């Protein structure tokens, strides 16, 4: 038997593969260099060009570029008018920012459980958690697969809730032919280097709603406006005059970052195609292995996948997830786990959230591992990943006597 490297065998490869990596080429470098010697490093033409292009790409009216995905979520919560006493329903199987943004505005996150096969928030569980304090839903397109937009929209319409989509994983995905970014009341994106396209740090919010757009613009730049229509003290003294009309933050994206993202946006469709090819290859390989559970594909979603998750069927393996993770590392394949259910973190436990709130999310968490997925992986790289998984499964397969 071919022994796993952790048990003394030869690793499937010599160099380390990580679960995600940015793809930067000469055009990206050129785009950034040009801005560095231009007149504007921030608040310049690249930011507005980026906002126009994101809105056009998503097929929606407005986009506001911000400094990161977390700032995007914070601005969306501000624009939604969320305040202390309000409840917001979200998923625990996500990065902490999806719920932290609710706490930033003094409101209360309420965790709904996820679908056991797709791992996306379950609309029935959203419904079950609605109270007369519920004001909004923050749904996460987990791994890039679209949430059940029609059902969530219907629930939000029925109960008069604002639908915020955390699409940090999902730029480039579509639901029934409509691009993510055009579906919810507000959609938040992240452009961190592990995400599909990057500006180093960066984020954006898209919306079709003019009122939300005005509030998003104010929220990300100190609550300050140059727009005479919004000013209270008109006529004003001169062209230098601006007004602060609400309390906002400095969450602006720079022109340097915008230029990088504009260049990355050009390659999004190519990145999507490469990611889809790798996902298909992994799905074909892992669906043959009973010890591995493959995340269910959502037929309504044309997905630009951000993460590829394998879930270990721990009843069929003589190892823990930790042992599997360490065995993969020894093969030189560095996995990650996405995510610890948010409310299990000490900070949330101290706020009073308890284990057992979302049994599906907790059960899924126990067996998941994210394996390498990014466009520059070679055929050999993905072969190595599959070989490593097979080798480790073979070694730890539970053989009934």
Ligand X SMILES: *Cc1c(COP(=O)(O)O)cnc(C)c1O
Residues making contact with ligand X (CB under 6 A): 68-70, 94-95, 97-98, 140, 166, 168-169, 190, 192, 203
Q: Which is nearer to ligand X, 166 or 302 (CB)?
A: 166
Residue 127 CB, nearest approach to ligand X (Å): 22
Residue 99 CB, nearest approach to ligand X (Å): 10
Residue 396 CB, nearest approach to ligand X (Å): 30
Residue 390 CB, nearest approach to ligand X (Å): 29
Residue 314 CB, nearest approach to ligand X (Å): 25
Q: Are strands 243-244 and 292-294 parallel, antiparallel or unpaired?
A: unpaired
How big is the chain, counted in residues?
401
Q: Which is nearer to ligand X, 162 or 204 (CB)?
A: 204
The DSSP line for 1-35 is ----GGGT---S-SS-EES------HHHHHHHHHH
Distance CA 101, CA 345 (A): 16
Specify whether the CB–CB gap between 319 and 399 falls below 8 A. Answer: no
Give 292's strand partners: 312
Could you tell me which residues come within 8 angstroms of residue 111 by beta carbon, excluding any fewer than 6 positions away? 89, 90, 91, 92, 99, 129, 341, 342, 343, 353, 357, 358, 361
Residue 49 CB, nearest approach to ligand X (Å): 21
Token pair 């599959």: residue: 386
Q: Which is nearer to ligand X, 96 or 231 (CB)?
A: 96
DSSP H helices in 25-170: 26-36, 45-58, 69-79, 97-104, 123-128, 149-159
Distance CA 102, CA 136 (A): 10
Q: Which position's Cβ is nearest ligand X?
A: 69
Q: Which is nearer to ligand X, 6 or 96 (CB)?
A: 96
Q: Which is nearer to ligand X, 70 or 382 (CB)?
A: 70
Q: Which is nearer to ligand X, 138 or 217 (CB)?
A: 138
């Amino acid at each position: 038997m071919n022994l796993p490297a952790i048990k003394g065998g030869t690793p499937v490869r010599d160099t380390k593969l990580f679960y995600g990596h940015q793809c930067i080429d000469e055009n990206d470098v050129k785009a950034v260099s040009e801005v560095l010697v231009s007149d504007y490093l921030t608040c310049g033409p690249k930011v507005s060009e980026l906002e126009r292009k994101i809105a056009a790409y998503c097929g929606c009216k407005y986009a506001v570029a911000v400094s990161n995905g977390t700032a995007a979520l914070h601005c969306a919560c501000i624009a939604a008018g969320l305040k202390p006493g309000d409840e917001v329903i979200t998923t625990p199987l996500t990065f902490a920012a999806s719920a932290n943004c609710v706490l930033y505005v003094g409101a209360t996150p309420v965790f709904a459980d996820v679908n056991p096969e797709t791992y996306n928030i379950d609309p029935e569980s959203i419904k079950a958690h609605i109270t007369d304090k519920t004001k909004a839903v923050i749904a996460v397109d987990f791994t890039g697969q679209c949430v059940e937009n029609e059902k969530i929209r219907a629930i939000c319409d029925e109960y008069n809730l604002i639908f915020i989509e955390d699409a940090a994983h999902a730029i480039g995905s579509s639901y029934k032919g409509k691009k993510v970014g055009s579906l919810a009341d507000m959609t938040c994106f992240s452009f961190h280097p592990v995400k599909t396209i990057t500006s180093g740090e960066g984020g954006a919010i898209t919306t079709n709603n003019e009122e939300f757009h005005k509030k998003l613009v104010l929220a990300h730049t100190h609550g300050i406006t140059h727009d005479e229509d919004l000013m209270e003290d008109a006529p004003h003294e001169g062209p230098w005059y601006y007004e602060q009309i609400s309390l906002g933050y400095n969450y602006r994206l720079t022109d340097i970052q915008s230029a990088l993202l504009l260049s990355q946006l050009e390659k999004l469709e190519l990145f999507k195609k490469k990611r889809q090819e790798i996902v298909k290859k992994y799905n074909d390989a892992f669906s043959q292995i009973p010890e591995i559970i493959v995340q269910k594909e959502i037929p309504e979603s044309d997905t630009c996948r951000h993460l590829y998750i394998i879930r270990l069927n721990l009843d069929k393996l003589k190892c823990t997830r930790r042992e599997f993770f360490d065995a993969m590392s020894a093969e030189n394949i560095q996995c990650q786990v996405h995510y610890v259910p948010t409310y299990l973190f000490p900070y949330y436990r101290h706020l009073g959230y308890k284990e057992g709130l979302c049994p599906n999310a907790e059960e899924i968490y126990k067996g998941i591992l994210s394996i390498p997925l990014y466009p520059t992986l070679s055929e050999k790289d993905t072969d190595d990943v599959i070989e490593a998984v097979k080798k480790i499964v073979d070694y730890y397969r539970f053989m009934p006597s």
